[in-house]
A and B are shown apart, each in its own frame.
Chain A
Amino acid sequence: AQSVTQLDSQVPVFEEAPVELRCNYSSSVSVYLFWYVQYPNQGLQLLLKYLSGSTLVKGINGFEAEFNKSQTSFHLRKPSVHISDTAEYFCAVTPNSGYSTLTFGKGTMLLVSP
């Protein structure tokens, strides 16, 4: 079984500041990792994913994440946030051997203020 921990339920940040949203996972098998963003009253949009290869993955809207196997982490970063980045961010994992269901973290609300 897998579990995902998003350590921060809410992250307030000023516009144009850098941000890091933390995600740690636990799994007895190798996993694929994902970050999704959810704007109010909308579904989830895929930001980026790690399946294999380079541990630094770049996604949409200027976000990137780095897979660290030794620390079992997949933190999301953006060097300069915009007001429009205000949303809920979910980290998720699934075993990489045959598709299975996603295990989600509880989400981190990113609040960007002017």
Chain B
Amino acid sequence: GAVVSQHPSRVICKSGTSVKIECRSLDFQATTMFWYRQFPKKSLMLMATSNEGSKATYEQGVEKDKFLINHASLTLSTLTVTSAHPEDSSFYICSATGSGGAADTQYFGPGTRLTVL
């Protein structure tokens, strides 16, 4: 149980375009979802926390107009990287926590590798 999926797993885009990444909880209701960014050989950096139906809470230094997060349902959150630039290239990972057995633990998606040319 407690499976989280991400789509796409890998995306390459041109500079200036926007990219949407989906994060889904497959077998539980995700009341809270988290978006992380991971640089090579580094730990995870929390970008934002989103609760279903509410605006996301962004960490200090994360541009909310650049990284748009939507958590419209209890099973889906999306991260849109707007006007992407090469410095946005990174590994983006989502996680989710929910009710019942998934209440005290964050379950992570497989990640999305974004490359901006």
Chain A residues at the B interface, C-beta cutoff of 8 Å: 32, 34, 36, 41-46, 49, 51, 90, 99, 101-102, 104-107
B97 lies within 8 A of A99 (CB): yes
B32 lies within 8 A of A99 (CB): yes
CA distance A55 to B43 in the complex (A): 26
- Give the 3 A-B CB pairs with smallest separation, nearest first: A44-B108, A43-B108, A43-B110
Proximity bits, B75-92, A CB within 8 Å = 1, else 0: 000000000000000010
Residue B30, interface by CB 8 Å: no
Chain B residues at the A interface, C-beta cutoff of 8 Å: 4, 6, 32, 34, 42-44, 46, 49, 91, 93, 95, 97, 103-111, 113
A45 lies within 8 A of B108 (CB): yes
A49 lies within 8 A of B105 (CB): yes
CA distance A6 to B42 in the complex (A): 13
A45 CB → nearest B CB, Å = 7
**Residues from chain B with Cβ under 8 Å of A51 in the complex:** 104
Having A46-B108, A106-B43, one finds 11 other A-B pairs with CB under 8 Å, namely: A41-B111, A42-B110, A42-B111, A43-B6, A43-B111, A46-B105, A101-B34, A101-B46, A104-B43, A107-B42, A107-B43
